[in-house]
């Protein structure tokens, strides 16, 4: 539509609009003469796990070509092997809404995703009772993401402890914690991760993180994982025969990101929070829309339940959230992602990783679109 000359405001991209800090972009040759050569295949770069993987030992850390690489098929098979012999019918518990890749990764590994719906009134957070009910003798993994994509919801330390108490009773269940939005939290929220909250789970927890979101380095493609040595070894063995090491230049840029000045983060978080507050306020003024205030990331996940069954002035009926997103794009030129893609309807995701004026205009268009429905 943009190529055809339409005025479209895209709110679908899951990447920060800020530029990568200058100290990170500095040519790697100034930091390391070896940046032009291969590094040892898939081993962790110096101090890569200082922040989130909670382990400084190389044998418990693994470097990947982006956070998504750490969750794809080769890693998924390694996870199965390290946690025990893979068997058809193994189950993985995934709270919904979820990042779109999670169920497919499970399927590619030969296991079955067990999707557990969360509720808007619970802040899109899985309750201990729901987790307990979802675990069966076939359960092998629990996938945890906080702050969440697509909702932005983040679990408090107490909420995580309630979930880990359940997991302690099920010794065969491993935990995959996706911490990629660790630094993007608001209103003084304190980030926590399962292996930190419950050290007894450390030997069956894989923690994933990366520099893409907090440091605006999506194109640099660096992620990392921390976990039990035998699991990391299995991941590394497969990775060394597939992609080998991530780009060495990106590795050294990531070292600078993790070791260098962090003061810019406060400014970015402040800007994101201002955008979040604007979007939440304006969406809640739109007819038929209900939007919760998330604790982190840069997404909101509003309900469009109040628009279902209504018609546009042209007579098109909104039967579901995909119709809502499609007609919003056609009528007002605002691109959002429908909730069915994330496993929970009727909702839609907005990324507020764009400028305030674009967000204000987009929300004005959404209000106008909703007001036109009958």
Instruction: Report DSSP letters for 26-72, one per residue.
Output: S-GGGT-GGGGSPPSTTPPPTTTTTTTT----GGGEEEESSTTGGGS
Q: Which of 144-148, 223-227, 287-291 has the lowest mean pLDDT?
A: 223-227
Mean pLDDT over all residues of the chain?
A: 89
Rounded Cα–Cα distance for residues 236 and 244 (Å): 9
Q: Residue 4 domain-assigned?
A: no
pLDDT band at 177 (very low <50, low <70, confident <90, very high): very high
Q: Report the domain count for the chain.
A: 2
> How many C-beta atoms lie closer than 10 Å to residue 305's C-beta?
16
| Domain boundary, last residue among 237, 259, 281 | 259
Could you list the residue range(s) of the whole structural domain that residue 349 is in? 9-18+264-371
Closest C-alpha to 110, from 142, 93, 84, 86: 86
Instruction: Tell me the pLDDT tens digit for each residue of 114-145.
Output: 999 999 999 999 999 999 999 999 999 999 99
| Domain boundary, last residue among 189, 224, 259 | 259
Residue with tokens 């993987």: 53
Phi, psi angle pair for 54, to nearest 5°: 60, 30
Residue 242 confidence (pLDDT): 79
Buried/exposed 91-104: b ≥16 CB within 10 Å, e otherwise: bbbbbbbbbeebbe
Residues 133 and 238 occupy one common structural domain = yes
For residue 281, what is the enclosing H or E element? helix 264-283
Residues 190 and 60 occupy one common structural domain = yes
Reading the block at residue 281, the tokens are: 């306020």
Rounded Cα–Cα distance for residues 276 and 291 (Å): 11
pLDDT band at 264 (very low <50, low <70, confident <90, very high): very high
Instruction: Tell me the pLDDT tens digit for each residue of 345-373.
Output: 999 999 999 999 999 999 999 999 999 99
Q: Which of 37-46, 236-245, 343-352 has the lowest mean pLDDT?
A: 37-46
Does the pLDDT of residue 313 top 60, yes or no?
Answer: yes
pLDDT band at 39 (very low <50, low <70, confident <90, very high): low
**CATH code, domain with 271:** 3.90.1150.10
């Amino acid at each position: 539509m943009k190529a055809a000359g339409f005025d479209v405001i895209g709110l679908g991209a899951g990447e920060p609009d800020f530029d990568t800090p200058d100290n990170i972009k500095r040519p790697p040759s100034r930091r390391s003469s070896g940046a032009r050569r291969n590094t040892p295949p898939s081993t962790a770069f110096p101090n890569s796990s200082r922040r989130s993987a909670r382990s400084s030992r190389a044998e418990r850390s693994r470097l990947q070509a982006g956070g998504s690489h750490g969750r794809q098929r080769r890693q998924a098979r390694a996870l199965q092997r390290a946690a025990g012999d893979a068997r058809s019918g193994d189950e993985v518990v995934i709270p919904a809404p979820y990042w779109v890749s999670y169920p497919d990764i499970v399927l590619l590994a030969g296991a079955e995703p067990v999707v557990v719906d969360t509720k808007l009134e619970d802040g899109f957070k899985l309750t201990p009772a729901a987790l307990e009910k979802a675990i069966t003798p076939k359960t092998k993994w629990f996938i945890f993401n906080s702050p969440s994509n697509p909702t932005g919801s983040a679990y408090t330390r107490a909420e995580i402890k309630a979930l880990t108490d359940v997991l302690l009773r099920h010794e065969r269940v491993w935990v995959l914690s996706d911490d990629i939005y660790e630094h993007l939290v608001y209103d003084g929220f304190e980030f926590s991760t399962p292996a930190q909250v419950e050290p007894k789970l450390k030997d069956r927890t894989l923690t994933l993180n990366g520099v893409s979101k907090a440091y605006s380095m999506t194109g640099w493609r660096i992620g990392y994982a921390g976990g039990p040595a035998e699991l990391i070894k299995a991941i590394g063995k497969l990775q060394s025969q597939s992609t080998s090491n991530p780009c060495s230049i990106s590795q050294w840029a990531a070292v600078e990101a993790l070791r260098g000045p962090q003061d810019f983060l406060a400014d970015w978080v402040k800007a994101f929070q201002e955008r979040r507050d604007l979007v939440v306020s304006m969406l809640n003024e739109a007819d038929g829309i209900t939007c919760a205030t998330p604790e982190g990331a840069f997404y909101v996940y509003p309900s469009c339940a109040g628009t279902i069954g209504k018609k546009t002035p042209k007579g098109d009926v909104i039967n579901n959230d995909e119709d809502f997103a499609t007609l919003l794009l056609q009528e007002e030129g605002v691109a959002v992602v429908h909730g069915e893609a994330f496993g929970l309807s009727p909702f839609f995701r907005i990324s507020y990783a764009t400028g305030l004026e674009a967000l204000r205009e987009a929300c004005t268009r959404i209000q106008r679109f909703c007001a036109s429905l009958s």
